[in-house]
Structure 1
Amino acid sequence: MMKKFLTGLAGCLLPLLACAQMQFDVVVYGGTPGGIAAAIQVAKMGKSVALIETTAHVGGIMTNGLGVTDIDSQQAFQNSVSVGGLALEYYRRIAKVYGRTEEFETAWRTRTKKHALWSHEPGVGEKVLMDWLSEHKVQVFTRTRLVEKRNAVSKKGTAITRIRMEGGKTFSAGVFIDATYEGDLLAAAGISTVIGRESNAQYNETLNGIRGETTHAQFKVKVDPYKIPGQPESGLIPTIQPGAIGTPGAADKHLQAYCFRAVLTPVPENRVPFRKPPGYDRNSYEIYIRYLEAGGHLLWPWVSVPNSKSDLGAWHDLSHNLYGMNVDYPGGNYATRQRVLNEHRLFTEGLFYFLANDTAVLRLAPDMQKEWASWGLAKDEFTDNGNWPHQFYVRDARRMVSDYVITEHHILKPDPTPVEDPVGVAFWPPDVHSVRRIVHEGYAYNEGFVFEPYGNWRPLPVAYRALVPRKSECTNLLTPTCPSSSHIAYGAIRLEWTFMVLGQSAATAAVMALETRVNVQDVDYGQLKARLLGQGQVLELP
């Protein structure tokens, strides 16, 4: 009897085990725009592909509030000329949804700058992406993430054979692509990565490391940083971290601030009033009161995407960019990251409530408060998350360290380092937000911002060699989102449409590696270049 029972039990378990073990030609880990472009490209080339996303929704920050991506957003330059391939097709699909195809195509054909043509609502972006994935029959696995164990990645020699997920699923493939913002698959596979700012000395750079002087988005008014003004012994008010500025150019573990790209609206029938979050503490916002008292002007919400919604960015001297509060996130475990995310959400929700309701704001800036009170969360966005974005803006986390590292020398004029194997063009200046808010010369000080759109830089051809690890570490993995680059150089690469370009290129190389049975480092660049150009990719600019 017992033997029959065990035999029957084994028969029941076999289908479950078979279902849990999945085999694909390519596995893409990370449902960011770069990951989606990679998965679609693999499918277009006739290979089987799995797209794994750790959260419940695909699209990364582009479907979580960043509806105004930086295409043709600056007076100093026109970067839409470098958008090609699947990235361009995505924005064509967005234009079709809004009934502006003819206007979009005319602007594209005539090289006319119209920044608004590239914007979209988060929900629209997610639907476009999901429909697109469905067209190509890409298998999407949401709420699926690597186990936090040493055996998360199995390798045979230098090749990954299998990755393990929480809940028991395993995925096998010939080639893997890490398209996360955090570089978790890279780290789990034993590939060299870095978190933080390198010293200027490491790559002989000038813009890396601790900034001796930060002028961009610096405080426009003097704000006393102490709980009892003028008394350092009383301690620091919230949002200010202890510590001196440090040695200019030295390395540290800080990264540019994260924030939520808040989707707000003034439309009464679609507006959810700002809520007082659990644990709301008015004292958390003391710096905003002091800023107003000193004569400063805080940000107001504004319409920037269709249907009267905001993409409330945070690049001001005092906003919801939470400098120094993300230091535990990039290398943290899942629980730590969730804590950091929750802290950012509670602070930001509380800030919006504070600006719209607090009596001190009413006294100091009545017109501003009246405007804030007329806005609220968009009722038709993020309906399964209290109308709040599911993700915040992870501007920078892990970066791969390969034999080839992109540095400021590839970007800065007058003599930038030539790139022999471009697989896309990152058309954006080195752009890193401040990393800390400290006390400097007795007042609140933002340290780390670098952004000079009129500066001495050129569009960056991104080398294929920066997408692949050292051959001694792994021979069947690529990354479009965590390329081998210094902190300051990554600031020129980290735009979502650039990730889409690099995702398509990485996927094409992955399929070529499978077809020719070579390591990803040995893909013939001449043949790769020809395929990418045939796909409409932009690899160089006049």
Structure 2
Amino acid sequence: MKTALNSAFGKIPQSVLLVFVLGWACHHPEQLIESEVCIYGNSSASILAAVQLKKRGREVVIVSPDTYIGGMTIEGLGGSDINNHSGFKNDSVIGGLTLEFYKDVARHYGVTNFDSARAQARTWRFEPHVAKGIFDRWLAELEIPVYTESRLRLAFDAVTKEGEKIVSIETRNGKTFRASLFIDASYEGDLLHYAGISTIVGREPNSRYGETKNGIRESNTYRNFEVAVDPYVEPGNPQSGLIHTIQDEALGQPGAGDGRIQAYCFRACLTKDPSNRVPFAKPENYQRDWYEIYLRYLDAGGSLYKPSYSIPGNKTDLGAWHDLSHNLYGMNHAYPEGDYEQRAEIYQYHLDFTRGLFWFLANDPEVPKNVRQEWRQWGTTKDEFTDNQGWPRMLYIRDGRRMQSDYVITEHHTRKDTSIRIEDPVAIAFWPPDVHHVRRIVREGKAYNEGFVFGGDNWKPFPIPYSSLVPRESECNNLLTPTCLSASHIAYGAIRLEWTFMLLGEAAGIAADLCLETNTSVQQLPYSELKERLEANRTVITLR
């Protein structure tokens, strides 16, 4: 029997519901878990896919490699990137349950007439714990089992296949998940890779797809240093070595491909409200020399970034996209294909660096007084990420593995002058190609950031095809991915927003239900029927 989202469970205290859904799944002694659909990943797309399936009466489980579920939507990215750009409004492409999520957000903050408020960016913004509360309530109301701390064994024999069909997956905690259909809704694409599906990490050469913005960037003016910063330990002496955050690499051939990925960072939730503020603490392993570049930047007259309130509750969603910030260009390249221990080391390095940076800016006597006074007002919050001393539990993974399928979304799809027609749209991407710098090197004797692509005049929103969510049929016929879809490095930069992942998660859930109903592979799914169901879900699949 299909379960309504607004069920009687809504009257039960949320804490009780969470014990049922999360606690039961995490601690249930069964080692073999069977369902119709198994969703792997901790992202918001996991939840939206699961809710769509459960509302359609399907047996579905979520397998999260972490202790939490909700991805960056609950890990600090409350700014949402909806209607926050002066050049365009993009809320018109948000529909389905994704829109219901944002309506729940607005209701939480007292918005009584959503339609009259939707043009305002603040209507779409939220605190991390509010997003988590909404997602947890949805999962609990629908009794969707979530198996947390269930990491896929990173080995090819962890994915059992019969021909091109995945039968089951094994996790490191000894559980086996058997299902008829699988969805990889992770940021890393581990299930894709170990299921034998072709993936890629990093930048393709421009020549591969006839692009202009991919590969090594010959000239980067966007978010590059606004002042000249000497990169050497002993200023002016290349033989003395490089200061921290700068890599000893040549620029390379412009337009050539490489394995480099855009930088990761934390979306820091800070406040200067005395009743909720925890002052920045000096880390035990504080390395002051890590921050020499910030002193040189300030000494040269650079204007360093600073926090500002951007989400409700007198809090920040402090991202990092500046010439110099806590975006650590080039320090994450091993993450997507690393094992869990390597990823944990990269996470810890970013955490140590960021905690130390914020303390340094607030306290170091060599930092200009006005900068110290500004940063000293801020601190982490008492009511966010309470299990991790106020810091997000995951990095903002802007880049992971991307599936390589028969259909690849490229820069050409994003261009105003494109002639490409999409025959099987499942959502709309409404953001310019947005790829952060991938490294910091020396160029002409100065620190230089390389890789950023953003905006420009020659882009437009575009439909995302169902074909990009499915693997090659020769590799796997019962898996979909809404988060690691088949796209080039540049095109993925226009897709990688949380709300776009949520829309694609819904589409994957609806498609999975239809595959089971019609007993077809994901590649042979009749799109005309999928389109009808997407439209019934009020998913926006055509540009208005």
Unaligned runs of 5+ in 1: 1-15
Q: Which residue of 2 aligns with 1:13?
A: none
- The alignment status of 1:377 with 2:380, answered yes or no, reads yes
Please name the residue that 2:80 is paired with: 69
Q: 2:426 aligns with which of 417, 423, 427?
A: 423
Let me know the Cα RMSD of the aligned residues: 1.1
**1:52-201 map, 5 Å:** 52-102=63-113, 104-108=114-118, 113-201=119-207
- What is the CA distance between 1:86 and its match in structure 2? 1.2
C-alpha distance in structure 2 between counterparts of 1:117 and 1:215, whole Å: 33
More deviation, 140-149/482-491: 140-149
CA distance in 2, matches of 1:457, 1:270: 42
SS at match of 1:288: helix
**Contact 1:198–1:208 (8 Å) recurs in 2:** yes
SS of the residue corresponding to residue 520 of structure 1 reads coil
Counterpart of 2:357 (choices 351, 355, 359) is 351
Instruction: Find the aligned partners of 1:437 and 1:314 in 2 and give their Cα distance.
Output: 15
**Contact between 2:154 and 2:190, CA under 8 Å: does it hold in 1?**
no
Shift of 1:296: 0.3
Tell me if structure 2 keeps the 8 A contact 1:241–1:436. Answer: yes
Structure 1 residue 69 displacement after superposition: 1.1
Asked whether the 8 Å contact 1:23–1:171 carries over to 2, the reply is yes
Structure 1 segment 400-411 matched on structure 2, within 5 A? 400-411=403-414
1:353-383 CA distances to partner (integer Å, 9 max, x unpaired)?
000000011xx3x222111101100011111
What is the match of residue 6 of structure 2?
A: none
Residue 258 (structure 2) pairs with residue 252 (structure 1): yes
Which residue pairs with 2:516 in the alignment? 514
Q: Is the CA contact (8 Å cut-off) linking 2:248 and 2:441 kept in structure 1?
A: yes
Q: Secondary structure at the match of 1:161?
A: strand
Letter in 2 for 1:223: V
TM-score (norm 1): 0.94
- 2:5 match: none
Is 1:390 aligned to 2:400, yes or no?
Answer: no
CA distance in 1, matches of 2:284, 2:267: 21
Q: Which amino acid aligns with 1:444?
A: A
Q: In 1, Cα distance between the equivalents of 2:93 and 2:531? A: 16
Instruction: Quote the residue 2:299 is aligned against.
Output: 293
Q: CA deviation at 1:455?
A: 1.7
Residue type of the partner of 1:100?
V
SS of equivalent residue, structure 1 residue 428: coil
Match of 2:33 in 1: 22
Query: Contact between 1:182 and 1:330, CA under 8 Å: does it hold in 2?
Result: yes
SS in 2 for 1:344: helix
Q: Structure 2: how far apart are the matches of 1:230 and 1:101?
A: 61
Counterpart amino acid of 1:23? Answer: E
Whether the 8 Å contact between 1:276 and 1:353 is mirrored in structure 2 is yes
Shift of 1:18: 8.1
Q: Indicate if the aligned counterparts of 1:212 and 1:249 stay in contact, CA closer than 8 A.
A: yes
Contact residue 240 and residue 437 of structure 1 kept, 8 A: yes
What letter corresponds to residue 386 of structure 1 in structure 2?
Answer: Q
Normalising to structure 2: TM-score of the pair?
0.94
CA spacing shift, 1:320–1:503, aligned 2, 3 Å: same
2:231 aligns with: 225
CA shift, 1:106, in A, is 1.5
Number of residues of Structure 1 aligned to a counterpart in Structure 2: 518
| C-alpha distance in 2 between matches for 1:506 and 1:339 | 32
User: Aligned pair in 2 of structure 1 residues 430, 242: CA closer, same or farther (>3 Å)?
Assistant: same
- CA contact under 8 A between 1:178 and 1:186: conserved in structure 2? yes
Tell me what 1:537 maps to: 539
Residue 155 of structure 1, CA deviation = 0.4
Contact 1:411 1:417 in 2 (8 A): no
Structural mapping, 1:457-476, within 5 Å: 457-476=459-478
Q: Is the 8 A contact 2:435 2:493 kept in 1?
A: yes
Letter in 2 for 1:133: L
SS in 2 for 1:187: helix
Once residues 146 and 337 of structure 2 are traced to their aligned partners in structure 1, the CA distance between those partners, rounded to angstroms, is: 26
In the other structure, the counterpart of 1:10 is none
Deviation string, structure 1 residues 127-163 (Cα, Å, up to 9, x no partner): 1100011111111111111113332100011000000
The DSSP-based 3-state class of the residue aligned with 1:462 is strand
Partner SS, residue 359 of structure 2? helix
Runs of 4+ off more than 3 Å: none
* SS at structure 2 position matched to 1:238: coil
> Does structure 1 retain, via aligned residues, the 8 Å contact 2:189–2:484?
yes
Query: Are 2:209 and 1:203 equivalent residues in the alignment?
Result: yes
Write out per-residue CA displacement over residues 253-281 of structure 1, whole angstroms, 9 at most, x where no aligned residue.
Answer: 11100000001000111111101112101
Distance between the aligned counterparts of 2:489 and 2:45, measured in 1? 19
Paired position in structure 2 for 1:8: none
| Partner deviation per Cα, 1:212-244 (whole Å, 9 max, x = no partner) | 011110100000000000000000000000111
The code of the aligned residue for 2:351 comes to R
Aligned 8 A contact 1:92 1:101 in 2: no
Deviation at 1:107, TM superposition (A): 2.8
| SS of alignment partner, residue 104 of structure 2 | helix
Q: 1:415 deviation in Å?
A: 2.5
CA distance in 1, matches of 2:419, 2:214: 17
CA contact (8 A) 1:259 1:392 kept: yes
What's the CA shift for 1:418?
1.3
Identity %: 53
Match of 2:9 in 1: none
Measure how far apart 1:17 and its partner are.
11
> In structure 2, which of residues 494, 503, 506 is the aligned counterpart of residue 504 of structure 1?
506
CA distance in structure 2 between the partners assigned to 1:406 and 1:330 by the alignment = 20
